[in-house]
């Protein structure tokens, strides 16, 4: 039995593969769904993850997992939240989005820049069964970007336990504390209990 990971984001795919070891992972390109677009119209991370997981399971006939993740900044009332991937306008790239965020926080002192990454995972099967998990990673927004790795808002997200930005962590350090890593570790036992055929490959 295969698990289709409903994303074309290479960084996310790497995290899924590294943490869901022992499972047969397939990507949208593997099943000719690389161009499938799902509009994220939900009000919550769960809503959007469910929309994507359902769409890919229906289109592929495969058990599908989708995540919706984002950054919640307390000084901005939880923004960008579900708009994290589109914050500041769809035309912006990762750098443009985090620079837009930094501009919004220009007058906010370091101690008030608390934030968290949140990830919601939804697994949906063609027969309608559903499994979910969530993970968070607490931190603060830096005054300026730091680090060369990661993606998204990683360069401006300080991980207090390491004293470095998420973008300055190694892959193993990041997977140990990231919101997606925590969500995936929480998901795995429930996923394999609900769908034991995943372990038969």
Give residue for tokens 């009332």: 77
DSSP label at residue 62: S
Q: Which residues pair with 195 in a beta bridge?
A: none
**Which one of 29, 43, 67, 68 is the catalytic residue?**
68
Q: How far apart are CA 136 and CA 39, in angstroms?
A: 24
141, two tokens: 């927004």
Is residue 109 within 8 Å of residue 89, measured between CB atoms? no
Is residue 140 within 8 Å of residue 160, measured between CB atoms? yes
Is 68 part of the annotated catalytic residue set? yes
Is residue 4 within 8 Å of residue 65, measured between CB atoms? yes
Largest Cα separation within the chain, whole Å, is 55
Peptide bond into 120 cis (omega under 30): no
Active-site residues: which are they? 68
């Amino acid at each position: 039995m295969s698990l289709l990971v409903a994303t074309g984001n290479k960084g996310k795919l790497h995290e899924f593969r590294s943490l869901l070891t022992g499972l047969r992972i397939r990507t949208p390109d593997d099943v000719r769904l690389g161009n499938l677009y799902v509009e994220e119209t939900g009000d919550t991370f769960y809503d959007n993850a469910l929309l994507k997981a359902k769409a890919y399971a229906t289109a592929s006939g495969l058990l599908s997992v989708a995540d919706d993740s984002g950054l919640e900044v307390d000084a901005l009332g939880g923004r960008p939240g579900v708009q994290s991937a589109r914050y500041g306008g769809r035309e912006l790239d990762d750098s443009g989005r985090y620079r837009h965020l930094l501009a919004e926080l220009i007058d906010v002192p370091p101690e008030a820049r608390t934030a968290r990454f949140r990830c919601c995972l939804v697994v949906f099967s063609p027969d309608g069964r559903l499994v979910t998990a969530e993970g968070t990673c607490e931190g603060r927004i830096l005054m300026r970007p730091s680090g060369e790795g990661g993606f998204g808002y990683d360069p401006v997200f300080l991980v207090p336990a390491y004293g470095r930005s998420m973008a300055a962590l190694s892959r193993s350090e990041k997977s140990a504390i990231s919101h997606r890593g925590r969500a995936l570790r929480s998901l795995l036992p429930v996923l394999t209990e609900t769908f034991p055929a995943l372990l038969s490959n």
